[in-house]
């Protein structure tokens, strides 16, 4: 991929999260950035992150406190920014069910604020991180992320004469991220019992580094309005439990409220306007302003009508050995 990041100002909302920290690590190792701005609302996490990436060693680093709910603060920190990765979100499913208004304020109103501040500040490109839970959502977190996705796609028609372009990257569960099931299983391992919601449950699986790489590569490809979906493997939750704690007893507790048995990254309806590459899919917007022909070059093929990218019917699977290797890493 062409390097578009050298001498650019990049900002990551929610930059002290799992994705943000890995993204900072990778970008500092690869690119000669003018500035790399970590924007988040947690001063302790920023302090701890600054010990790992100090200004003395990385003079391009900046740490700004703030919340995506506060649009005035966004106008201030977006000034002079070229590219934005919007990773800030409230994403814990059960907590979101109990605190819906707070989640809407961050995930939906926050998305609107990022869009408006990006356009008015002259930001060139924005990629917002999405989730498989935004596809046919059954919980509040997924519903707010679906709404956020719709806002970012439609934002391309709001930018008017401004140059700002918006796209989405959507993928599944991230190995080792905060709130993922791996740390939970590890904590249960000490007691000798692993609770399993359903032995049939499957999930998409991607590593933090793979997720960051996919987002950065999508900046090179985006024209504005696309949803980028990587071809990633599935795994069975029970296989993951065996990889984390092979000697533990399993206790079946049932699916939690707002939880699916299987996840979907690309629906049958999406397939009507989706393109397939070797390693990923692009879901094109259905707006009449979408006239991008570039994605149809170089042998890119339309997805077959009726195709569904679902975790239980996926052709790519992680076996027990691969899961054990991932967990150990």
The residues that are catalytic are: 133
Cα–Cα distance measured from residue 248 to residue 269, given in angstroms and rounded to the nearest whole number: 41
Q: 83-86 and 9-13 as β-strands: parallel, antiparallel, unpaired?
A: parallel
How many CA atoms are closer than 13 Å to the CA of 137, on its beta-carbon side?
17
Tokens 């947690």, residue located: 42
Q: What are phi and psi of 75, to 5 degrees?
A: -60, -35
Q: Interhelix angle for 43-52 vs 18-30, to 10°?
A: 30
CA distance 288 to 16: 38
**Whose structure tokens read 């899961």?**
323
**Residue 306, Cβ neighbours under 10 Å: how many?**
9
Task: Give dist(CA 153, CA 10) in Å, integer.
Answer: 20
DSSP string, 124-185: -EEEEEEEGGGSS--SHHHHHHHHHHHHHHHHHHHSTTS--EEEEEEE-EETT-TT-HHHHH
d(CA 129, CA 254): 29
Give the Cα separation of 221 and 252 in Å (integer). 44
């Amino acid at each position: 991929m062409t390097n578009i990041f050298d001498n650019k100002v990049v900002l990551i909302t929610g930059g002290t999260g799992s994705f943000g920290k890995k993204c900072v690590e990778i970008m500092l190792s690869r690119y000669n950035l003018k500035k790399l701005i970590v924007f988040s609302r947690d001063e302790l996490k920023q302090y701890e992150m600054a010990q790992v990436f100090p200004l003395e060693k990385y003079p391009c680093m900046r740490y700004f406190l703030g919340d995506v709910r506060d649009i005035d603060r966004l106008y201030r920190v977006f000034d002079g920014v070229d590219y934005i990765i919007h990773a800030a979100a409230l994403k814990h499913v059960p907590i979101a069910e109990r605190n819906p208004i707070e989640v809407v304020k961050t995930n939906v109103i926050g998305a609107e604020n990022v869009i408006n501040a990006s356009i008015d500040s002259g930001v060139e490109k924005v990629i917002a991180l999405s989730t498989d839970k935004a596809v046919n959502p059954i919980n509040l977190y997924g519903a707010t992320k679906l709404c956020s996705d719709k806002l970012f796609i439609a934002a391309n028609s709001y930018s008017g004469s401004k140059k700002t372009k918006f796209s989405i990257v959507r993928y599944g569960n991230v190995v080792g991220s905060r709130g993922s099931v791996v740390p939970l299983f590890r904590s249960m391992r000490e007691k000798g019992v692993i609770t399993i919601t359903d032995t049939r449950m499957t999930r998409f699986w991607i590593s933090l580094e793979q997720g960051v790489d996919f987002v950065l590569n999508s900046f090179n490809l985006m024209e504005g309005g696309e949803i980028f979906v990587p071809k990633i493997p599935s795994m069975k939750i029970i296989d993951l439990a065996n990889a984390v704690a092979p000697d533990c007893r399993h206790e079946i507790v049932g699916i939690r409220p707002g939880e699916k048995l299987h996840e979907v990254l690309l629906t049958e309806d999406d397939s009507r306007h989706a393109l397939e590459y070797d390693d990923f899919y692009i879901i094109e917007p259905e707006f009449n302003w979408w006239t991008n022909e570039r994605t149809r070059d170089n042998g890119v093929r339309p997805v077959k009508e009726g195709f569904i990218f679902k975790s239980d019917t996926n052709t790519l699977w992680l076996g027990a050995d691969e899961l054990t290797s991932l967990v150990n890493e």
